[in-house]
Amino acid sequence: MNQRVFNFSPGPATLPLPVLQEVQQNLLALPGAGASILEISHRSKTFEQIIAQAEANIRQLLNLPDEYHVLFLQGGASLQFSQVPMTFLRGSGRSADYMVTGSWAKRALAEAQREGGVRVIWDGKENNYSRVPKKGEYDVNPDAVYVHFTSNETIQGIQFPAEPETGDVPLVCDASSDFLSRPIDVKRYGLIYAGAQKNVGPAGVTIVIIRNDLLERVPDGLPTMLDYRVHAENHSLYNTPPVFAIYVVMLVTRWLLESIGGLEQMHAINQQKAQMLYDAIDRSEGFYRGHAQPDSRSLMNVTWRLPTEELEAQFVKEAKEAGLHELKGHRSVGGIRASIYNAMPIEGVRTLVEFMEDFRRRHA
Ligand SMILES: *Cc1c(COP(=O)(O)O)cnc(C)c1O
């Protein structure tokens, strides 16, 4: 274990150590099954229990009412960019409202535009995607089929502090990079989707939470694999699901419940970690310049610049030598990005803050 570095990767991202240890311990034979999770049928009793437990954990963590279904799908959040508008927008004769807060929202918007009428009700372009909209800065069309927003922009490092106000229009959320990082007002949502590989597991599974009234609106004639109803009716076992990824999601959500104590506790820890980094930025006298405006600062992805690109490259290089990996910002925005999802220990953030202070003393 002494070879493990602090891994600030944006995704796939660091996982809780006890989860990895359990995976390792049981990789050759799951207790009672006599075979590996990689080798058993998705129709076996063992796996049925695993997927049911994963769903139960998510339900408990989010306090999910019965009218919501939990689906384990493939194709990433990127397929949801298409599947959502294919299902609800195409042929509806109505339009959908999109909030464009950064790189991922732009991708979602582009796919929706292929399917039907879309209104952009907010675009953060003029402030370089450094903040999310406040109440009153956007007008929801009361006749929109849904309002789409990206709760956390992984690349820019901005996050909605709370759900946008949409009246009776169903809220659709790309929660890929902050799913299960804090409590949410779940009844406000019609549909939530999240690729697992940022905060809740390995790559390969996408969690979709969908409310009954939206499920009932799924039109006939979609490809079977793109029909949410098929997956809901078959409890995500219509075809072979990503068995291993779902197994790890089950372990991560159990860790959240049993070791952390739930989403309120997780949120408090995430706030503490993010605050440590933003404090280091704020007291650096302009040496570190945060990208996000203070009221939109992400608790998951902290982004900042240094005085020059040369210093940024030097920072990333020296950090890596100090055991702090994957701190380079996304190629589209540059700078530094520290992804500090649920599984990043406070110790990792503390070590990064110490490194930041030391680096500044030497280079400011
Ligand atoms: C990573 C990410 C995606 C893309 O996820 P894939 O699973 O690679 O398709 C979409 N939205 C957000 C907010 C992300 O962070």
The ligand 1 site (C-beta within 6 Å) comprises 11, 76-78, 104, 150, 154, 174, 176-177, 195, 198
Residue 298 confidence (pLDDT) above 80 = yes
- Asked if the peptide bond before residue 16 counts as cis, ω within 30 degrees of 0, the response is no
Mark whether 118 and 66 lie in a shared domain.
Answer: yes
Ligand 1, atom 8, residue with closest C-alpha: 76
Q: How many domains does the chain have?
A: 2
Cα 193 to ligand 1 centre (Å): 10
- Asked which of 226, 260, 294 is the last residue of a domain, the reply is 260
Mark whether 227 and 274 lie in a shared domain.
Answer: no
The amino acid occupying position 54 is A
Query: Which atom number of ligand 1 is nearest to the Cα of residue 151?
Result: 13
Mark whether 160 and 303 lie in a shared domain.
Answer: no
CA distance 56 to 235: 12
Indicate the pLDDT class of residue 290, thresholds 50, 70 and 90.
Answer: very high
Mark whether 175 and 49 lie in a shared domain.
Answer: yes
Ligand 1, atom 3, residue with closest C-alpha: 77
Mark whether 250 and 271 lie in a shared domain.
Answer: no
Pairing of strands 336-339, 152-153: unpaired
Residues 6+ apart with CB under 8 A from 46: 30, 32, 33, 40
Residue pLDDT, tens place only, 197-233? 999 999 999 999 999 999 999 999 999 999 999 999 9
CA distance 324 to 11: 15
Pairing of strands 147-150, 171-174: parallel
Mark whether 310 and 208 lie in a shared domain.
Answer: no
Question: Is 178 contained in some domain?
Answer: yes
Indicate the pLDDT class of residue 127, thresholds 50, 70 and 90.
Answer: very high
Given this model, what pLDDT does residue 2 score? 64
Question: Is 12 contained in some domain?
Answer: no
Residue 129 confidence (pLDDT) above 60 = yes
Ligand 1, atom 1, residue with closest C-alpha: 176
Residue 4 confidence (pLDDT) above 80 = yes
104 is catalytic: yes
Q: What is the mean pLDDT of the chain?
A: 97
Question: Is 1 contained in some domain?
Answer: no
Indicate the pLDDT class of residue 333, thresholds 50, 70 and 90.
Answer: confident
Domain interval for residue 349: 262-363
Residue 112, phi then psi, degrees to nearest 5: -65, -35
Q: Which helix (H) or strand (E) holds 121?
A: strand 117-123
CATH code where residue 208 lies: 3.40.640.10
pTM of this structure: 0.98
Residues 6+ apart with CB under 8 A from 178: 151, 152, 159, 198, 199, 298, 299, 300
Residue pLDDT, tens place only, 230-264? 999 999 999 999 999 999 999 999 999 999 999 99
Residue pLDDT, tens place only, 66-107? 999 999 999 999 999 999 999 999 999 999 999 999 999 999
Mark whether 25 and 164 lie in a shared domain.
Answer: yes
DSSP 208-228: EEEEHHHHTTPPTTS-GGG-H
Provide the greatest CA pair distance for the chain.
Answer: 64
255 is catalytic: no
Residue 303, phi then psi, degrees to nearest 5: -120, 135
Given this model, what pLDDT does residue 200 score? 97
Q: Find the angle CA(293)-CA(15)-CA(62) to the nearest 5 degrees.
A: 70
Question: Is 25 contained in some domain?
Answer: yes
